[in-house]
Structure 1
Amino acid sequence: MTAPSPQLQNALDALDTAFAPLFGQPFTGGGCTYCYTETDLEALAGPPHRVPGDLIPAVAAESTDHWDDFAALYRRMTPRIIRLLTTGQLHVDHGLVASRLLAADWRNWTVPEQEALEGVWQAWWRSALHEHPGTDHVTGVLEAISVSTGSLAPWLALWAETRTETADRHLSDALDDWLFEGRLTDLRFGFYNELDAGPELVTWLLSLDEGRIGAAQLLAVERIAYGY
């Protein structure tokens, strides 16, 4: 783990501030007593900052039917989940976190909460593109932010605009991942494959300026695009 960039740190602090009014509202919690003790459930029903650290990954990854009010619990835990996720301390699949945010209906939360989370996504993505090797693989970051927001376009546009050696190294690494065993052809993002990423990525990759992609990788992308 490395310290977050100042921009990401500020965005995470703003996320805490945006969600603070929520924590003063009553919440009864409750959940599966086979998987969680009464002490665990009492902690989850209390102030989010007092929830033991080992429960945060459980909330981040656990199936929605384990909780009496999944959406409310996930919303309350979002600042802690996202802080751990973006600083490389949450060992939970990035696509799963994005899928859980969709299940928690985050795009219908209060405007300050939505804007604060979007601010974290912006800062996290910019930080990821400017740091190599980074805290997370860039493909995981892209999956989390694109699935949760429902769009690849703005994140790919920012990547294309970031003409740095670091961003291009991330691009090469990402292509190694996406092209392995032809994954790019049918690539989908999200734990439940919510986002059909392959076609849009192929189009975007072919639109990049000459030299951004190495010859061998570019040939592999062209074979997928043009079927030769």
Structure 2
Amino acid sequence: MTTPSQQLRAALDALDAAFAPLSESPIAVGGCTSCYTGADFEALAGPVDRVPDGLIPSVAAEVASHWDDFAALYRRMTPRIVRLLVTGRLHVDHGLVASRLLAAGWRDWTVPERRALEGVWDAWWRSTLHEYPGTGQVTGVLEAISVSTGSLAPWLAVWADTRTEAADHHLGDALDEWLVEWGLADLRLGFYGELHAGPELLSWLLALEEGRLGAAQLFEVERIADS
């Protein structure tokens, strides 16, 4: 039986395979010459596996208007971007990557591409819930997968069903962020606040089995829900 981390590695490899026809075929790349050199455009136009690591965060985070064909470039670079994101080596806001994927129109890509990306999201989420501490904050992982897919419900359902110490530790950490830093009642996820998550999270938290939340955190969640 494979472990969640092994399933994640397999999903990432499947993502590479699904995008191989795009990744291996050269394309024309142009954009802002104040930010990027001719050598940068040439590297981005060639095989994706040869693009220098230093260019990946720029592509992952850059605004669409800086590229002549943002959607085509982002689609082509998605396996590199996602692998670095999932393994904690991208250092770009998770919500921003999700927002850029939406802007690139990933839901309209080919079926194999969409399924491969969805497979990574599912494996990443399950791997995260089985490992503590992990390669990144659980709130960032949840933000990336929920904003890009447009739904919190399936990911919260998996969390509720995952009764591991790691999942519960992550839950405590998430509540520390949502209650103290992010403002749970009106929490919005995504770089541009695309997903209004607060009400759904409150309902989910209140429906969790007794004992999943600490007494102090449960009190605060109930106070917010009643206000």
State TM-score, norm by structure 1.
0.96
1:215-226 equivalences under 5 Å are 215-226=215-226
Q: Residue 29 of structure 1 aligns to a residue in which SS?
A: coil
Q: 1:203–1:51: structure 2 CA closer, same or farther, 3 Å change rule?
A: same
RMSD across aligned C-alpha pairs, in angstroms?
A: 1.1
Distance 2:182 2:30 in 1: 44
Work out whether 1:144 is the aligned partner of 2:147.
no
* Moved segments of 4+, more than 4 Å: none
What is residue 86 of structure 1 aligned with on the other side? 86
Task: Please give the residue correspondences for 1:29-178 in structure 2 after superposition, counting only pairs within 5 Å.
Answer: 29-178=29-178
Given that 2:24 and 2:48 are in contact with CA atoms closer than 8 Å, whether structure 1 keeps it comes out as no
Q: In structure 2, do the counterparts of structure 1 residues 32 and 182 end up closer, same or farther at CA, with 3 Å as the change threshold?
A: closer
Between the aligned residues of both structures, percent identity stands at 75
In 2, the alpha carbon distance for the partners of 1:122 and 1:186 equals: 26
Question: Cα 1:176–1:69, aligned 2, differ >3 Å: closer, same or farther?
Answer: same
Structure 1: distance between partners of 2:170 and 2:185: 20
Is the CA contact (8 Å cut-off) linking 2:23 and 2:49 kept in structure 1? no
- AA paired with 2:198? G
Displacement of 1:166 after TM fit?
A: 1.2
Query: Structure 2: where are the runs of 5+ without partners?
Result: none
State the match for 1:210 in structure 2: 210
- Describe the superposition over 1:157-181 as per-residue Cα deviations: whole angstroms up to 9, x where unpaired: 0000001111111101000000005
Q: Which residue of 1 aligns with 2:180?
A: 180
Q: How many residues align?
A: 224
TM-score, structure 2 as length reference: 0.97
3-state SS in 1 of match to 2:213: coil
Q: Return the alpha-carbon distance in structure 1 between the equivalents of residues 43 and 54 of structure 2.
A: 11
The amino acid of 1:170's aligned partner reads H
Output the CA distance in 1 between the equivalents of 2:150 and 2:182: 24
AA at the equivalent of 2:6: P
Instruction: Write the letter of the residue equivalent to 2:225.
Output: A
2:136 alignment partner, SS class: coil
Partners of 1:164 and 1:13 lie apart in 2 by 26
Q: How far is 1:23 from its partner?
A: 2.9
Report the CA distance between 1:182 and its aligned residue: 6.6
CA distance in structure 2 between the aligned counterparts of 1:37 and 1:25, rounded to whole angstroms: 21
User: Which amino acid is the alignment partner of residue 133 of structure 1?
Assistant: P
Cα-to-partner distance string for 1:112-144 (whole Å, 9 max, x where unaligned): 000000000000000100111110000000000
